[in-house]
Amino acid sequence: MTTQDIVGKLWNLCNVLKDDGVTYHEYVTELTYLLFLKMAEETGQHRKLPKGYRWADLTARSSAERLEFYKKALIHLGNHGSALAKEIFANASSSIKKPATLSTLVTEIDRLDWYSARQEGLGDLYEGLLEKNANEKKSGAGQYFTPRVLIDCMVRVMKPSLDDRIQDPAAGTGGFLIAAHHELKAQHDFNALTPPQQRKLRSATFFGMEHVQDTHRLALMNLMLHGIDSNSGSGPGKGGIHYGDTLGPDGETLSKAGATLILTNPPFGSKKGGGLPSRTDLPFPTSNKQLCFVQHIVGALTPGGRAAVILPDNVLFEGNVGAEIRRDLMDKCNLHTILRLPTGIFYAQGVKTNVLFFTRGTTDKGNTRQTWLYDLRADLPQFGKRTALTREHFADFETAFGDDPRGGTKALSKRRDRGEQSRWRAFSREWIAKRGDNLDIAWLKDESADGTENSSDPAALARETIEQLEAALDELRSILEILGEEVEESQE
């Protein structure tokens, strides 16, 4: 039995809960409680749970008394056992109302081929469940889950290493951190690592924070099944995904811990009530959550650290404090690449998004000289159930991006040598400054879109031509500057 088969069987069990009015998201949370008990037994980690409240104790109860015992066990487990168990079961409660419903779930879970599941990987099994939940529109989870093919693309071009401290300040269920773990596993034989390397990989490589408790418990389960320590009970400066608010005091601790690689998809929208974040170390006050996360990321990156961040279009063009934050980003970091994403890849269909790739400089001024944009939006279909987003859609972008995740001088030189393409263009920092540091740049006519991108107004076309000429001149000046730097580097 394959992982896919087991995931299908577990997901189909949600039909058992329909009569109890349990939602898809509640089902995944409910299943997490039961799977933690079962997998603790399967992996020999039952000592994480107090005696009398383990899987064997649940199955030993008769069908009639099992539900009452289970509800008492959830409360007990939230206060006893290992730090990880207490976090998984923190404030836990069951949505199940009928004893027969719970008994059916327990029986079916116990009946599964757990030997095959262990061989295939329990982490992959749990990831499959999370992905099913994200793809089920009725669960409402799709808007919070980043498409796996996009996560994998971002991870591949960022090239995580064993030396990295990898952070996701808006961790969700841990998708970015798990994908980075998969990439490291593909590049290295974990069994051949030295004991210090293995300890660092388990406990001091992956860092994150999640603000929603139900989502946090799913993240803890995900990390545990992939062999990553959660450092439960320790502060957010330690490895693992911690429960807390990145835009509050906990975020300050996470920021001070530092990161060499940040991969994230911050939540969209404004802080509830329109108030400012409660942390005190963000230089530009704003209630816009994405702009706050940008400031966190810039502050958390160590010199030379790199980031790949999904952000909506408004972050690219918003004025006033938005322009100040973009200016600060381009001063302190080398914003070397922007990927304009297709529409429809998140369930919030109207939201247009981008991935910003940047590297923290060793100084706080003048780090962005040139920004390359790849337009994966214009004249592409609306992605969704009928048209799936696949790895092939990102293949040309990954080739154009190149092999240097930091977007250094030599990498930009290679990009110039390969030349611009219809979807791939460079813009100098001077040209961007003349636009008021507006990074919402489009040059392809999108026949499927409304608005200025499809304009045939002669005045608009003339302005566009002038802007393109100015951009070419600025780019030439930038090339000459960079070539001068390359000469200096070769002489050193």
Q: What is the pLDDT of residues 141-161, one digit of tens each?
A: 545 578 889 999 999 999 999
User: 155: which residues sit within 8 A by CB, 6+ positions away?
Assistant: 176, 179, 180, 182, 183, 263
User: What rounded mean pLDDT belongs to the chain?
Assistant: 85
Q: Which two tokens stand for residue 346?
A: 């998140």
Which of 4-8, 61-65, 268-272 shows the lowest per-residue confidence on average (mean pLDDT)? 268-272
Find the largest Cα–Cα distance for the chain: 81
User: 492: which residues sit within 8 A by CB, 6+ positions away?
Assistant: none
Instruction: Give percent of the chain above pLDDT 70.
Output: 84
User: 457: which residues sit within 8 A by CB, 6+ positions away?
Assistant: none
User: 170: which residues sit within 8 A by CB, 6+ positions away?
Assistant: 209, 210, 211, 246, 264, 265, 266, 267, 293
Find the mean pLDDT for residues 271-286.
79
**Strongest mean pLDDT among 202-206, 222-226, 303-307:** 303-307
Question: Which residue shows structure tokens 């939540």?
Answer: 267
Q: Which two tokens stand for residue 162?
A: 């064993």
Given a cut of 80, whether residue 270 has pLDDT beyond it is no
Which residue type is seen at 8? G
Find the mean pLDDT for residues 302-312.
97
Find the mean pLDDT for residues 206-226.
90
Find the mean pLDDT for residues 202-225.
90
Helices (H), 204-320: 213-225, 249-257, 289-300, 313-317
Local structure of 207: helix, strand or coil: strand
With bands split at pLDDT 50, 70 and 90, how would you rate the model's confidence at 476?
low
Local structure of 208: helix, strand or coil: strand
Give pLDDT tens digits for 369-397: 999 999 999 988 777 667 788 899 999 99
Given a cut of 70, whether residue 448 has pLDDT beyond it is no
Find the mean pLDDT for residues 416-421.
78
H or E stretch at 71: helix 63-77
Find the mean pLDDT for residues 154-180.
96
Output b/e per residue, 37-61; b: 16+ Cβ within 10 A.
bbbbbbeeebebbbeebbbeebbeb
Find the mean pLDDT for residues 308-312.
96
How far apart are alpha carbons 274 and 117 in whole angstroms?
46
Find the mean pLDDT for residues 207-213.
92
Given a cut of 60, whether residue 296 has pLDDT beyond it is yes
pLDDT at 192: 95
pLDDT at 455: 39
Beta-sheet pairing, 353-360 with 333-340: antiparallel
Given a cut of 80, whether residue 116 has pLDDT beyond it is no
> Pick the residue with more confidence: 298 or 120?
298
> Pick the residue with more confidence: 57 or 114?
57
With bands split at pLDDT 50, 70 and 90, how would you rate the model's confidence at 456?
very low
pLDDT at 452: 38
Question: pTM value?
Answer: 0.85
Give pLDDT tens digits for 340-352: 998 877 655 567 8
pLDDT at 460: 45
Find the mean pLDDT for residues 412-428.
85
Find the mean pLDDT for residues 389-406.
93
Angle, nearest 10°, between helix axes 3-12 and 122-135? 50
Helix then strand count (H, E) for the chain reads 21, 9
pLDDT at 273: 56
Given a cut of 90, whether residue 218 has pLDDT beyond it is no
With bands split at pLDDT 50, 70 and 90, how would you rate the model's confidence at 129?
confident
With bands split at pLDDT 50, 70 and 90, how would you rate the model's confidence at 457?
very low
